[in-house]
């Protein structure tokens, strides 16, 4: 069960990331919230205010992304992921079916371009995520940060496997 403090920490983590606060500073802020709540028993919303408001104070001087910019960036990432996935799927399908070309170029090149695009995309996203660590333990504050790149790569490999399987059957 998620406690109010855990919910507050997650909301604060998200708000601080949206303001582009440095990962080390985010870890310090979350540790301060934890320490204060542990020492006083006070609700973090009463002590620090709403997560977005507190993130604004912590990230003073940093503009952060507007909701519109955030949506645009996410849409761009989704579009690029879809293009890379489609190119990869067409490439693996053509290679498995022993077609000579896909998208007007050799099938192996289509697959290679898709795979290269996927690897570059995952690496760039993994770097951009920037792991936030708890300064007291050195551990990531969110399990998803540690597993982000492997999970995305696993999904991509599963996509290639499904496409290869379908191409072999059809």
Q: Model confidence over 1-30: pLDDT tens digits?
A: 667 889 999 999 988 888 888 889 999 999
Please tell me the least confidently modeled range out of 23-27, 32-36, 63-67, 79-83.
Answer: 63-67
| Higher pLDDT pick, 61 / 139 | 139
Flag whether the pTM goes above 0.95: no
Between CA 75 and CA 84, with CA 116 as vertex, the angle to 5 degrees is: 30
pLDDT of residue 19: 82
Dump the DSSP string for the chain. Answer: ---HHHHHHHHHHHHHHHTT--HHHHHHHHHHHHHHHHHH---HHHHH--HHHHHHHHTTT-----HHHHHHHHHHHHHHHHHHHHHHHHHHHHHHTT-SEETTEEHHHHHHHHHHHHHHHHHHHHHHH---B-TTT--BSSHHHHHHHHHHHHHHHHHHHHHHHHHHH-
pLDDT of residue 40: 94
State percent of the chain over pLDDT 90.
59
Residue 85 clears pLDDT 80, i.e. is over it: yes
Facing residues of 133 across strands?
140
Residue 42 clears pLDDT 70, i.e. is over it: yes
Q: What does the mean pLDDT of the chain come to?
A: 89
User: How many angstroms separate the CA atoms of 89 and 162, rounded?
Assistant: 9
CA dihedral sign, ordered 144, 148, 151, 155: positive
pLDDT of residue 170: 86
φ, ψ for residue 53 (rounded to 5)? -70, -45
Radius of gyration of the chain (CA): 21
Residue 146 clears pLDDT 80, i.e. is over it: no
* Number of other residues whose CB lies within 10 A of the CB of residue 45: 16
Ranges 18-32, 68-82, 86-100, 139-153, most confident? 86-100
Mean pLDDT, to the nearest integer, of 86-108?
95
Residue 62 clears pLDDT 90, i.e. is over it: no
Longest dimension (CA), the chain: 69
């Amino acid at each position: 069960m998620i406690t109010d403090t855990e919910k507050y920490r997650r909301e604060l983590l998200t708000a601080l990331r949206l303001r582009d606060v440095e990962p080390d500073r985010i870890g310090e802020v979350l540790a301060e919230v934890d320490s204060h709540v542990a020492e006083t028993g006070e609700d973090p919303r009463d002590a620090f205010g709403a997560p977005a408001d507190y993130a604004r104070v912590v990230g003073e001087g940093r503009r952060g992304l507007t909701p519109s910019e955030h949506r645009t960036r996410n849409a761009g990432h989704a579009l690029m992921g879809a293009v890379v996935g489609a190119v990869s799927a067409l490439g693996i399908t053509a290679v498995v079916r022993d077609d000579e070309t896909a998208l007007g170029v050799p099938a192996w090149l289509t697959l290679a371009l898709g795979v290269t695009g996927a690897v570059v995309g995952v690496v760039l996203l993994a770097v951009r995520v920037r792991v936030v660590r708890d300064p007291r333990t050195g551990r990531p504050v969110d399990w998803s940060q540690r597993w982000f790149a492997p999970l995305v790569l696993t999904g991509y490999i599963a996509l290639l496997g499904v496409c290869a399987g379908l191409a072999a059957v059809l």
